[in-house]
């Protein structure tokens, strides 16, 4: 069947979202904020239905032998839902991100020129498990005046439907266009390709999940893609870096489960590091439930280390596994990280200012952490922003995926009547 057949459900959903986006884009900021708060309340009232639906998904997934990693991502708890509601309430209280006036470098004579942040239009969110993220993304999109099309994984079909029902009821309650939030369900028998090739309607695609999903979307999409990164973050342990700092950063970075966005999974160690320090670190991590692996040189010298395969250095484990590798210098570490890291968050432990600057400038990643845990949180304890994840691309909005990531800039020239 042709992907642009009007009878195909993704096309219908994309068209409804496209039509709704025009109305939503001109809605007052106070009304969009009220809609986000209504979504939070609707989700809060639907806890029992959502958890019941999630139980069905978990039972089916276990019967189908779905990987334990996906089941962990899929499993909702009252706490996970409480956190989602709190994120939405904070989001609803933030100032309107749209129509902020900015100065424009390009100026014309006898006119005033300025720029404004505007909605993108229609955003497609493709996500693997993590059913609660549908509500977070819907809140981010409504707040920025964008319609959203949700396509979750089959494993979470009941959970996705229950959450979408709560979202849609909230939208109807506040009087926003029905097409603001669309859900592509398993019953539609639509592939990811069917949705992400609707570029005449869709302005941005955001995939969220394992790298295989991200790569599939990047290859197939005819609309722009905002890639998110997950796992396979590197840490370089300098000779003058603290053992306790390294230990804390690794453990803390893995504490943002179920989605370990910035989990440190690879550690590069200067070759002259003290063997006793390495053993102390490994024993401490193993006591915390980590599996430890090493490169060929380390695993030969320390038989307790499982050897890491060559293809592991460039891929994410997405569990409590950390691989260690010896390097000769900071320069070698930077080169290795730039080749094999996922490119969204990499770290260094050092007491040298010169080393920290060299690392921050040399590592080709969206963010660098110096003696600081890269642990990711959608709501920060300081500041007033909400984030979906981390983008590791150099194109559209690299770095933290925030409200501004879902906007674009409009250039406006106001003449004074002279000609």
Closest by CA to 345, choosing from 264, 254, 238, 255, is 264
Asked if residue 307 has pLDDT above 60, the reply is: yes
Q: Do 73 and 184 fall into the same domain?
A: yes
Give the strand pairing for 111-119 and 407-415. antiparallel
Alpha carbon of residue 176 to chain centroid: 26
Does residue 323 belong to any structural domain of this protein? yes
Q: Do 176 and 237 fall into the same domain?
A: no
Q: Do 272 and 303 fall into the same domain?
A: yes
Specify whether the CB–CB gap between 140 and 151 falls below 8 A.
Answer: no
Mean pLDDT lowest among 6-10, 172-176, 252-256, 355-359:
6-10
Q: Do 63 and 148 fall into the same domain?
A: yes
- pLDDT tens readout for residues 195-239: 999 999 999 999 999 999 999 999 999 999 999 889 999 999 999
Q: Do 16 and 156 fall into the same domain?
A: yes
Q: Do 243 and 314 fall into the same domain?
A: yes
Does residue 379 belong to any structural domain of this protein? no
Name the residue range of residue 249's domain.
233-370
Residues 6+ apart with CB under 8 A from 109: none
Q: Do 74 and 125 fall into the same domain?
A: yes
- Rounded alpha-carbon distances, angstroms, from residue 33 to 43, 280, 284: 16, 51, 46
Q: How far apart are CA 72 and CA 81, in angstroms?
A: 15
- pLDDT tens readout for residues 310-337: 999 999 999 999 999 999 999 999 999 9
Mean pLDDT lowest among 107-116, 133-142, 278-287, 405-414:
107-116
Does residue 62 belong to any structural domain of this protein? yes
Does residue 292 belong to any structural domain of this protein? yes
Can you spell out the DSSP letters for 62-131?
A: HHTT--HHHHHHH---HHHHHHHHHHHHHHHHSPP-TT-EEE-S---TTEEEEEEEEE-SEEEEEESS-T
Hey, what are 23's tokens? Answer: 């109305």
Does residue 280 belong to any structural domain of this protein? yes
Does residue 380 belong to any structural domain of this protein? no
Specify whether the CB–CB gap between 58 and 75 falls below 8 A.
Answer: yes
Q: Do 246 and 137 fall into the same domain?
A: no
Domain with residue 191: its CATH number is: 3.40.605.10
pLDDT at 392: 87
Q: Do 187 and 237 fall into the same domain?
A: no
Q: Do 240 and 271 fall into the same domain?
A: yes
Domain total in the chain: 2
pLDDT at 110: 74
Average pLDDT over every residue of 27-45: 96
Domain with residue 253: its CATH number is: 3.40.309.10
Average pLDDT, the chain: 92
pLDDT > 90 fraction of the chain, expressed in percent and rounded: 80
Q: Do 224 and 237 fall into the same domain?
A: no
pLDDT at 220: 96
Q: How far apart are CA 352 and CA 237, in angstroms?
A: 12
Does residue 381 belong to any structural domain of this protein? no
Q: Compute the Cα dihedral for 131, 133, 91, 164 and give only its sign.
A: negative
Asked if residue 31 has pLDDT above 80, the reply is: yes
Q: Do 273 and 148 fall into the same domain?
A: no
pLDDT at 10: 85
Does residue 270 belong to any structural domain of this protein? yes
Can you spell out the DSSP letters for 177-229?
A: -GGGEEE--GGGT--HHHHHT-TTT--EEEEESSHHHHHHHHHH-SS-B---B
3-state secondary structure of 56: helix
Q: How far apart are CA 31 and CA 375, in angstroms?
A: 34
- pLDDT tens readout for residues 66-106: 999 999 999 999 999 999 999 999 999 999 999 777 777 77
């Amino acid at each position: 069947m042709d992907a642009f057949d009007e009878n195909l459900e993704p096309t219908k959903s994309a068209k409804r979202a496209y039509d709704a986006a025009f109305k939503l884009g001109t809605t007052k900021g106070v009304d969009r904020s009220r809609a986000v708060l209504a979504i939070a309340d609707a989700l809060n009232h639907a806890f029992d239905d959502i958890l019941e639906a999630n139980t069905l998904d978990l039972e089916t997934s276990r019967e189908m032998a779905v990987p334990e990693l996906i089941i962990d991502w899929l499993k909702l708890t009252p706490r996970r839902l409480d956190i989602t509601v709190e994120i939405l309430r904070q989001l609803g209280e933030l100032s309107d991100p749209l129509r902020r006036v900015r100065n424009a470098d390009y100026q014309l004579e006898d006119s005033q020129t300025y720029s404004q942040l505007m909605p993108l239009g229609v955003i497609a969110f493709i996500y693997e498990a993590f059913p609660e993220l549908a509500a977070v993304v819907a809140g981010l999109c409504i707040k920025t005046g964008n319609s959203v099309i949700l396509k979750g994984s089959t494993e979470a079909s009941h959970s996705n439907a229950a959450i979408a029902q709560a979202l849609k009821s909230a939208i109807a309650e506040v009087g926003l266009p029905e097409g603001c939030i669309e859900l592509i369900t398993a019953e539609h028998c639509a592939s990811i390709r069917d949705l992400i090739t609707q570029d005449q309607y869709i302005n941005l695609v955001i995939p969220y999940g394992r790298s295989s999903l991200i790569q599939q979307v990047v290859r197939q999409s005819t609309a722009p893609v905002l890639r998110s990164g997950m796992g396979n973050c590197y840490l370089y342990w300098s000779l003058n870096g603290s053992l306790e700092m390294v230990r804390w950063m690794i453990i803390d970075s893995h504490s943002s489960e179920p989605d370990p966005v910035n989990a440190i999974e690879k550690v590069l160690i200067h070759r002259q590091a003290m063997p006793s320090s390495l053993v102390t670190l490994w024993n401490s991590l193993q006591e915390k439930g980590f599996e430890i692996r090493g490169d060929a040189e380390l695993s030969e010298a320390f038989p307790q280390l499982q050897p890491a395969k060559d293809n592991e250095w460039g891929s994410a484990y997405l569990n409590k596994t950390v691989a260690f590798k010896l390097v000769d210098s900071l320069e070698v570490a930077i080169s290795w990280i730039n080749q094999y890291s996922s490119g969204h968050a990499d770290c260094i432990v050092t007491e040298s200012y010169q080393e920290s600057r060299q690392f921050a400038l040399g590592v080709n990643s969206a963010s660098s952490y110096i003696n600081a845990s890269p642990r990711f949180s959608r709501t920060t304890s300081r500041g007033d922003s909400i984030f979906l994840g981390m983008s590791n691309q150099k194109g559209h909005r690299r770095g933290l995926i925030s409200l501004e990531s879902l906007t674009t800039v409009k250039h406006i020239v106001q003449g004074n009547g002279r000609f």
